[in-house]
């Protein structure tokens, strides 16, 4: 009898404990659901929607203008909510993510002339600085300022008000053509070049502000390393620049140039850290153009180029090559024609991933209606000289067709390197 009593008492205690455990579980679930509900209604994610989708854009262009194909690349971006206090950061689901910092002031635009070495030591000094890449180079082309100004210093005045951009035609996407090919000599190997194309619209002072970012990177260091370096360069630069555009509170020439330089510096650090952690050598050249209103902000490191094509002025090289042979031509040690046979034509002295700190050339130019910007790797401009390239650019108004013709010209000339090009019509 006593045994039955104690057994019933144990059962009651177990049932009582289970009831309390169930109550605790219900309270925890209720708190969790309330927390999720609060997050859903109080944390706002700002998204950058594409101007138009690729499919609708191509379908509309083919239906209304069958002879002019417009191609664009868009990307849906989600930006985190800025933190209200403390250092620049973003908060998401209770976590604090540091915001990438941009440099306070960008270096002077243009190229600073290298130190003048004695004739006998000049080649040796550049040799020691220059990383090797599998390509040859053409000489530095003469550059005429398309705006007619001789002073290439940075314009720091604010841009015109964004109120002029609210008309429907102002937010139409730019017409873009793309060429991307491994080349004939490397046809069995992956293309080490990477491209990035982004078009969108943000809000500045309650007005629409369309923008477009284009990037070309030419990887170095072997097939896998070169491809990874160029991919990291495009990925991290685009993330930095697009984030800064969406969260920035300033619209000025200096801000946009600093933004691009900050993106290049961020990409350089990532590539350097990747190379050091894995004990490998990797690097990439890069050129990028940001188009906002009627201005183009351009940066470059290495020998990937950006050209401006204007009917009245022809083809103008905006960027400067950071290569050994380009420096020798500038010094007068070799002629432009000797560039193609020089034994050290495959060396650049500035690239991403070469060292922790990288110097970035920057340019700000005015663009007019019907101007075109051509961003390309050396696989194109080395095979197709500037006069031939200009001849192709005058042959059509269709950027897709022009890129096909430029690519075919490079292949017909030997296709010795990876070929990448982005042609943007303003």
372-414: pLDDT as tens digits: 999 999 999 989 989 999 999 999 999 999 999 999 999 999 9
Name the pairing type of β-strands 305-310 and 314-317: antiparallel
Assess whether pLDDT exceeds 70 at residue 216.
yes
Longest dimension (CA), the chain: 114
Q: Closest by alpha carbon to 105, among 300, 297, 258, 261?
A: 258
Q: Which residues contact 21 (CB under 8 A, 6 or more apart)?
A: none
Give residue 103's Cα distance to chain centre.
17
How large is the C-alpha radius of gyration of the chain?
Answer: 27
Q: How far apart are CA 51 and CA 57, in angstroms?
A: 10
Assess whether pLDDT exceeds 60 at residue 269.
yes
CB 95 within 8 A of CB 312: no
* Residue 130's pLDDT band (cuts 50, 70, 90): low
Most confident listed range (139-148, 164-173, 297-306, 376-385): 297-306
Helix (H, G, I), strand (E, B) or coil at 20: helix
Count other C-beta atoms under 10 Å from residue 182's C-beta: 19
Assess whether pLDDT exceeds 50 at residue 47.
no
Q: How far apart are CA 185 and CA 80, in angstroms?
A: 45
Can you list the pairs that 111-115 forms with residues at least 24 positions away whose Cβ atoms lie under 8 Å? 111/320, 111/322, 111/361, 112/359, 113/330, 114/327
CB 298 within 8 A of CB 363: yes
pLDDT of 4 reads: 56
Q: Which residues contact 180 (CB under 8 A, 6 or more apart)?
A: 191, 193, 195, 419, 420, 421
Question: Over 109-144, what HEC string results?
Answer: CCCCCCCCCCHHHHHHHHHHHCCECCCCCCCCCCCC
Domain 119-425 adopts which CATH fold? Phosphatase 2c; domain 1 (3.60.40)
Assess whether pLDDT exceeds 90 at residue 195.
yes
Q: Closest by alpha carbon to 247, among 291, 203, 208?
A: 203
Percentage of the chain exceeding pLDDT 70: 65
Q: Over the range 145-162, which residues count as b (16 or more CB within 10 Å of their CB) and which as e?
A: ebeeeeeeebbeeebeeb
Please, what is the average pLDDT of the chain?
75
pLDDT of 13 reads: 78
Kindly report which listed range (20-29, 267-276, 388-397) carries the lowest average pLDDT score.
20-29
Q: How far apart are CA 391 and CA 370, in angstroms?
A: 16
Mean pLDDT on 92-120: 39
- Greater confidence, 343 or 97? 343
Mean pLDDT on 56-68: 40
* Residue 3's pLDDT band (cuts 50, 70, 90): low
pLDDT of 37 reads: 62
CB 353 within 8 A of CB 301: no
pLDDT of 256 reads: 96
Assess whether pLDDT exceeds 60 at residue 112.
no
CB 353 within 8 A of CB 275: yes
pLDDT of 128 reads: 47
* Residue 36's pLDDT band (cuts 50, 70, 90): low
pLDDT of 18 reads: 84
Q: How far apart are CA 368 and CA 381, in angstroms?
A: 24
* Residue 31's pLDDT band (cuts 50, 70, 90): confident
Give me the count of residues in the chain. Answer: 426
Kindly report which listed range (49-58, 257-266, 336-345) carries the lowest average pLDDT score.
49-58
Assess whether pLDDT exceeds 60 at residue 127.
no
Q: Over the range 305-343, which residues count as b (16 or more CB within 10 Å of their CB) and which as e?
A: bbbbbbeeebbbbbbbbbbbbbbbbbbeebeeeebeebe
Assess whether pLDDT exceeds 60 at residue 367.
yes
Most confident listed range (106-110, 330-334, 390-394): 390-394
CB 109 within 8 A of CB 152: yes
* Residue 32's pLDDT band (cuts 50, 70, 90): confident
Assess whether pLDDT exceeds 90 at residue 175.
yes
Assess whether pLDDT exceeds 50 at residue 416.
yes
Q: What angle do CA 255, 256, 260 make, to 5 degrees?
A: 120
Assess whether pLDDT exceeds 50 at residue 35.
yes
pLDDT of 204 reads: 82
- Greater confidence, 330 or 68? 330
pLDDT of 1 reads: 52
pLDDT of 33 reads: 75
């Amino acid at each position: 009898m006593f045994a039955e009593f104690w057994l019933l008492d144990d059962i009651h205690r177990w049932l009582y404990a289970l009831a309390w455990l169930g109550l605790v579980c219900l309270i925890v679930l209720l708190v969790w659901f309330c927390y999720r509900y609060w997050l859903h209604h109080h944390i706002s994610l700002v998204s950058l929607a594409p101007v138009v989708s690729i499919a609708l854009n191509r379908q509309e262009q083919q239906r209304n203008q069958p002879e002019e194909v417009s191609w664009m690349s868009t990307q849906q971006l989600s930006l985190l909510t800025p933190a209200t206090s403390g250092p620049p950061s973003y908060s998401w689901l209770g976590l604090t993510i540091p915001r990438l910092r941009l440099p306070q002031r960008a270096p002077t635009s243009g190229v600073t002339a290298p130190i003048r070495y004695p004739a006998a030591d000049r080649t040796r000094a550049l040799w020691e600085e220059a990383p090797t890449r599998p390509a040859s180079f053409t000489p530095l082309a003469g550059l005429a300022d398309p705006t007619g100004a001789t002073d290439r210093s940075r314009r720091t005045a604010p841009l015109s008000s964004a109120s002029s951009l609210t008309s429907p035609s102002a937010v139409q996407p730019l017409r873009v053509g793309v060429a991307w090919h491994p080349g004939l000599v490397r046809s069995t190997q992956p293309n080490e070049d990477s491209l990035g194309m982004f078009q969108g619209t943000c809000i500045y002072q309650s007005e629409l502000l369309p923008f477009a970012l284009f990037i070309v990177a030419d990887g170095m260091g072997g097939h896998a390393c070169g491809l990874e370096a160029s991919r990291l360069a495009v990925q991290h630069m685009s993330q930095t620049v697009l984030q800064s555009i969406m969260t920035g509170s300033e619209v000025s020439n200096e801000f946009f140039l600093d933004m691009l330089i900050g993106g290049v510096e961020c990409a350089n650090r990532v590539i350097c850290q990747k190379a050091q952690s894995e004990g490998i050598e990797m690097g990439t050249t890069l050129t990028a153009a940001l188009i906002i209103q009627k201005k183009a902000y351009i940066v470059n490191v290495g020998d990937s180029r950006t050209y401006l094509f204007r009917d009245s002025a022809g083809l103008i090289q905006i960027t400067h090559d950071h290569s050994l042979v380009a420096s020798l031509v500038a010094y007068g040690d070799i002629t432009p024609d000797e560039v193609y046979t020089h034994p050290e034509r495959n060396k650049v002295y500035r690239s991403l991933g070469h060292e922790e700190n990288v110097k970035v050339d920057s340019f700000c130019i005015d663009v007019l209606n019907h101007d075109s910007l051509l961003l390309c790797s050396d696989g194109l401009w080395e095979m197709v000289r500037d006069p031939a390239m200009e001849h192709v650019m005058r042959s059509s108004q269709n950027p897709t067709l022009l890129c096909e013709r430029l690519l075919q010209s490079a292949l017909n000339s030997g296709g010795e390197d990876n070929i990448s090009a982005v042609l943007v019509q303003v």
